[in-house]
Structures are given as structure tokens and as C-alpha cells.
């Protein structure tokens, strides 16, 4: 034990020494302004990392790039939209890495979310993408619509849902994801009784331990690997075993439900996955399929719940917008006699505008980071990015930049009207990312939110209030405010 401690201390001291020799004034030497202490401010403070990046963004209004340090590694905040496009799309092979190293024994994180192997990531994404086509979503819609109706019953019969609105929304998004992955059993009375709510909550909630893991994986990857840390170690055994059991039962009964498990079985029945161009192969094991299912929860449960929360918070402070949205929902529901189809939900065009504006003002993923995998040059300014330098795209800051959005703190859905949306520059709106690694489940998330909001606003309105948060919760990636209050008022329709 003593030798391990000494080795750890030696490695840390060497890393610090190497930092001062190799990276001291790294950005200053390149005539780029540099900021120190960012990660320390995040770890010890009360703000999200995206908020800290936003403060830095506006501290240098004339600069297109601001240098900082993610621990012992140089990182660069980039502002220019053309350079952002290069990172996310044009020079993607130089920036495909998220810059969060995992350990190979972390079966959930290393199998999809933070996958560093480019060939492996590309093959898995190609095979999983079809589950989010409009055809697949139409087949799956009956699941989401059932969950939305059950959500209304859940609110009506659960006082805690009224007292803790975020928990109620989180119950809806998690339960909807559970049903979309595993299907709905015939004897299920209410789909909100999901066994995965606590698991998903613990996996996504920020804490000092979680933030420290993300910080180490991002800034001192060798130490993260040496300590054999896992992002989702507490959930790994339970979730993988559940998926294995469901796969086994579903194969035995040949029970098709148009859910994600159906897709997993289809992939496994096709045999070894292969990239015909490169010859790269991958076995669609139960563990790999479980990781893809787990990705639904991690990418969707918390972010979608917060997206719903932010929509409702802004509606409660903008009653004319709320009134107009109520009318649109009522018109659609009355026309179909409350037998809602996916085509009915697609008619809610003003709701799309409201959601888009909420995504702008409160992007649930407040920043994107990418690690440079091979030395390259950004097009604007010819900024040289060396291998292993991280690039940060400050989504929250860009979404509040008055250069792209006049009066950016005002909630105005008209920004996203069919006419005005054309005025928003490409890559200035990034709620789901953009380029080759754009959120694969964006269509699913939008549909899940729309049907949930539609049923909620059909049955309830909101008490007027003004939402003006001082800061968000200290999360590495996200904008979160789980304590925010909403008061639901039943409607007579």
C-alpha cells in the first residue's frame, strides 16, 4: 500500500513539474489570452462549468480564442462559428474524441458514451442510428403517448409531484425511456412506476465525487486510468443483468414490441457487425447492447426533464405565450377527440418554437469539449492546435450572445418562426450539438417532450411567476436547477 501511495505522489509531482516545464504560459507564448484556475473554481464553487466558461467568453469580447488549462493540459475556448464548424464537422477526424478517457473495464461508459476508438464508435453509431428514424418513432409513439397520459394520472394522484415538480418531470422522462427501451408489460397499471428512476438519478446527479471523476478523466487521464475509476460503476452490474434477462425472455417468446430491445435483438440476429470499407468488426454482445440502452438514460432522462422544466418555468413568466400555446394544444386535442397520434403532435408548430427558444436560453448541455487527436490548424486565424489540446465550444455563452440573438435574456419564441429561424447563423444554435457527433436521439427527445408537454398543458395551466436564477448547479456539462418551483393549476376543458 505504501509503495502505491509513493508511486501516486511521484506521478503527481512529475506531472506538475512537466506542466511547468512544457506548458507554462502555453497560450501567452502564442499571443492568445490565457485564464488560470478554471477547474479549481469549478470544483470548489457553486456554478456549472458552462457558466464559468460564459464569464470567460464575455471577459474577452474582442478575442476569438481564449486559452485556459483543464488541470495540467492546455485547452482553448473558441468563439468563431467557422472554427466551431471545423471542429464538429469539417476536421472531425482530428476532433472526434470527447477528451474524457475511460477504463476498459468500465463497460457502460467505454462502450458508447465516451468511446475513444474512432472505428468502434463509427460502427456502433451507424448500427444504432436506425432506431431514431421517423418510421421507427411512429411505431414507438404508442409507448410515449401512453406514458404521457399516465404522467397526468401520476400528477393528479401524487401530492409530492406538485410539491417537487422536477422530480415529477424526471419520473416522466425516466419512465418514458424505460418503456421505450423495454416495452410495456400487459399488466402495467401505470408506466410511471419505473424501477430505474433511482438508478438514473444517481448516475446523472452532480456531486463532488462525480465532478472530480470528470475532472480527472479530462485533465489527468493517466491518473484516472491508474486509479481504475469508473463513471457508472455503481449501475453497471444491475443494469447489464437486467438487459441480459430481458433479451433472454424476449428471444424465448419472440415478442415484438417496437422498442429498443427489438433493435438489439435484430442487430444480434444479423451476427458480427462489420464496416465493409475498413473491415473493422465488432460482436453485438449483450454487454454492448446494454451500454446502448444505458445511454438512453444518461443522455435523455436528466436533460429532457430539465428541458421540460425550463419550458414550463418560462411559460409561467410569459402568460401571453402560455395562452397561445394552450389554444394550439386545445385545437389539436379537440380535433382528434384526445386520441392523439404522432401526426397530431407534429401539428404543434408553436410548441416547436417555444421549445426551441427554451433550448436556446437554457441549453441543457452547456458546453462541448473535444480533444485534438492529431495536430491541425483551425481555418479562421490559422490557430495551430497541437495533439491532446482540448477545444471547448461554450454553447451556453453562444446562445446568450446578443450578436446572434438580440436581447438574449428575453424569452421570445418568435426567433424560431419559419421566417426568423433563417436569420440564425449555422453553428450558433447547438442544443443537441452538431456535425458527425450530433445527439443521435434528438428526434426522440423532441417527440418525448412534445407529447409530455401537450398532455400536461391540456390538463393544467401554470401559476404566474418570474424565473431568474442566480446560478445553476455545479455540473461538469449540464445546466441544472432541480429546486426550481412550478405551480400546476388544473384546467377545465
C-alpha distances (whole Å) from 242 to each of 230, 236, 253, 411, 422 are 20, 10, 17, 42, 46
pLDDT along the chain (493 residues), means of 10: 51 56 80 90 90 97 92 89 95 85 63 68 81 86 94 89 88 90 82 75 62 64 67 74 86 82 88 88 86 80 94 98 98 96 97 98 94 94 92 97 97 97 95 87 93 97 94 91 93 82
Cα 251 to Cα 265: distance, rounded to the nearest angstrom:
8
Tell me how many degrees the CA angle 373-364-159 measures, rounded to the nearest 5: 145
Q: At what angle do helices 286-316 and 233-253 cross, to 10 degrees?
A: 110
Q: What is the pLDDT of residue 4?
A: 46
Nearest Cα to 169, choosing from 492, 378, 455, 467?
Answer: 455
Joined grid coordinates for residue 198: 433511482
How many CB atoms are located within 10 Å of the residue 346 CB? Answer: 13
Domain range annotation of the chain: 1-490
Q: Note the CATH number of domain 1-490.
A: 1.10.630.10
The conformational region for residue 407 under phi > 0 = left, psi -120 to 50 = alpha, else beta, is: left
Tell me how many degrees the CA angle 326-328-333 measures, rounded to the nearest 5: 90
Nearest Cα to 239, choosing from 312, 188, 296?
Answer: 296
Instruction: Find the length of the chain.
Output: 493
Residue 209, C-beta contacts closer than 8 angstroms, at least 6 positions apart: none
Joined grid coordinates for residue 162: 406538485
Whole-structure pTM value = 0.88
Q: Which residues are annotated as a binding site for heme?
A: 439
Three-class SS of the chain: CHHHHHHHHHHHHHHHHHHHHHHCCCCHHHCCCECCCHHHHHHHCCCCHHHHHHHHHHHCCCCCEEEEEECCEEEEEECCHHHHHHHHHHCHHHCCECCCCCCCCCCCHHHHHCCCCHHHHHHHHHHHHHHHCHHHHHHHHHHHHHHHHHHHHHHHCCHHHHHCHHHHHHHHHHHHHHHHHHCCCCCCCCCCCCCCHHHHHHHHCCCHHHHHHHHHHHHCHHHHHHCCCCCCHHHHHHHHHHHHHHHHHHHHHCCCCCCHHHHHHHHHHCCCEECCCCCCEECCCHHHHHHHHHHHHHHHHHHHHHHHHHHHHHHHCCHHHHHHHHHHHHHHHHHCCCCCCHHHHHCCHHHHHHHHHHHHHCCCECCEEEECCCCEEECCCCEEECCCCEEEECHHHHHCCCCCCCCCCCCCHHHHCCCHHHHCCCCCCCECECHHHCCCCHHHHHHHHHHHHHHHHHHEEECCCCCCCCCCCCCCCECCCCCCCCCEEECCC
Assess contact for 356 and 420: CB atoms under 8 A: no
Cα 42 to Cα 393: distance, rounded to the nearest angstrom:
17
Nearest Cα to 485, choosing from 247, 255, 166, 25?
Answer: 166
Joined grid coordinates for residue 443: 428526434
Q: Which residues are annotated as a binding site?
A: 439
Assess contact for 75 and 221: CB atoms under 8 A: no
Q: What is the pLDDT of residue 1?
A: 46
Residue 263, C-beta contacts closer than 8 angstroms, at least 6 positions apart: 128, 130, 131, 136
Assess contact for 286 and 243: CB atoms under 8 A: yes
Q: What is the pLDDT of residue 213?
A: 65
Cα 365 to Cα 383: distance, rounded to the nearest angstrom:
26
- The sign of the dihedral angle between the CA atoms of 52, 53, 57, 59 is positive
Nearest Cα to 101, choosing from 230, 294, 233, 291?
Answer: 230
Q: At what angle do helices 165-182 and 134-156 cross, to 10 degrees?
A: 140
End-to-end CA distance of the chain: 68
Amino acid at each position: 500500500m505504501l509503495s502505491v501511495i509513493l508511486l501516486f505522489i511521484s506521478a503527481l509531482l512529475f506531472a506538475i513539474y512537466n506542466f511547468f516545464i512544457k506548458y507554462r504560459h502555453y497560450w501567452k507564448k502564442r499571443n492568445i489570452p490565457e485564464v488560470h484556475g478554471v477547474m479549481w473554481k469549478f470544483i470548489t464553487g457553486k456554478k456549472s462549468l458552462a457558466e464559468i466558461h460564459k464569464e470567460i467568453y464575455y471577459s474577452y469580447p474582442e478575442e476569438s480564442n481564449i486559452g485556459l488549462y483543464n488541470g495540467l493540459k492546455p485547452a482553448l475556448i473558441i468563439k468563431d462559428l467557422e472554427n466551431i464548424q471545423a471542429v464538429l464537422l469539417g476536421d472531425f477526424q482530428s476532433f472526434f474524441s470527447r477528451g474524457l478517457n475511460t477504463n476498459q473495464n468500465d463497460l457502460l461508459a467505454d462502450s458508447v458514451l465516451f468511446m475513444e476508438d474512432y472505428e468502434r464508435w463509427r460502427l456502433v453509431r451507424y448500427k444504432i442510428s436506425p432506431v431514431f428514424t421517423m418510421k421507427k418513432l411512429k411505431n414507438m409513439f404508442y409507448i410515449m403517448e401512453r406514458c404521457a397520459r399516465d404522467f397526468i394520472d401520476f400528477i393528479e394522484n401524487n401530492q409530492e409531484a406538485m410539491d417537487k415538480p422536477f422530480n415529477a418531470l424526471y419520473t416522466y422522462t425516466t419512465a418514458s425511456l424505460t418503456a421505450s427501451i423495454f416495452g410495456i408489460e400487459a399488466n402495467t397499471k401505470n408506466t410511471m412506476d419505473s424501477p430505474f428512476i433511482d438508478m438514473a438519478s444517481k448516475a446523472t446527479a452532480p456531486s463532488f465525487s462525480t465532478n472530480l471523476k470528470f475532472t480527472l478523466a479530462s485533465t489527468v487521464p493517466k491518473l484516472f486510468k491508474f486509479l481504475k475509476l469508473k463513471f457508472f460503476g455503481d449501475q453497471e452490474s444491475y443494469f447489464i443483468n437486467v438487459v441480459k434477462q430481458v433479451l433472454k425472455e424476449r428471444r424465448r417468446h419472440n415478442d415484438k414490441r417496437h422498442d429498443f430491445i427489438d433493435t438489439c435483438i435484430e442487430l444480434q440476429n444479423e451476427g458480427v457487425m462489420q464496416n465493409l470499407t475498413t473491415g473493422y468488426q465488432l460482436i453485438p454482445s449483450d454487454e454492448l447492447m446494454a451500454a446502448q440502452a444505458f445511454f438512453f438514460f444518461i443522455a435523455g432522462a436528466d436533460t429532457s426533464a430539465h428541458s421540460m422544466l425550463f419550458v414550463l418555468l418560462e411559460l409561467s413568466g410569459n402568460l401571453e405565450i402560455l395562452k397561445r400555446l394552450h389554444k394550439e394544444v386545445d385545437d389539436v386535442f379537440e380535433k382528434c377527440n384526445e386520441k392523439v397520434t404522432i401526426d397530431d403532435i407534429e401539428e404543434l408548430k408553436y410548441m416547436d418554437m417555444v421549445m426551441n427558444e427554451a433550448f436556446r436560453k437554457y441549453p441543457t448541455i452547456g458546453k462541448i469539449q473535444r480533444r485534438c487527436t492529431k495536430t491541425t490548424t483551425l481555418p479562421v486565424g490559422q490557430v495551430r492546435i497541437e495533439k491532446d489540446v482540448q477545444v471547448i465550444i461554450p454553447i451556453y455563452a453562444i446562445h446568450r450572445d446578443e450578436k446572434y440573438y438580440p436581447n438574449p435574456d428575453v424569452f421570445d419564441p418568435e426567433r424560431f418562426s419559419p421566417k426568423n429561424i433563417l436569420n440564425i447563423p449555422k453553428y450558433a444554435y447547438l442544443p443537441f450539438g452538431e456535425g458527425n457527433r450530433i445527439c443521435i436521439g434528438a428526434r426522440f427527445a423532441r417527440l418525448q417532450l412534445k407529447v409530455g408537454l401537450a398532455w400536461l398543458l391540456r390538463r393544467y395551466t401554470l401559476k404566474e411567476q418570474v424565473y431568474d436564477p442566480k446560478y445553476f448547479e455545479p455540473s461538469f456539462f449540464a445546466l441544472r436547477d432541480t429546486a426550481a418551483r412550478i405551480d400546476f393549476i388544473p384546467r377545465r376543458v
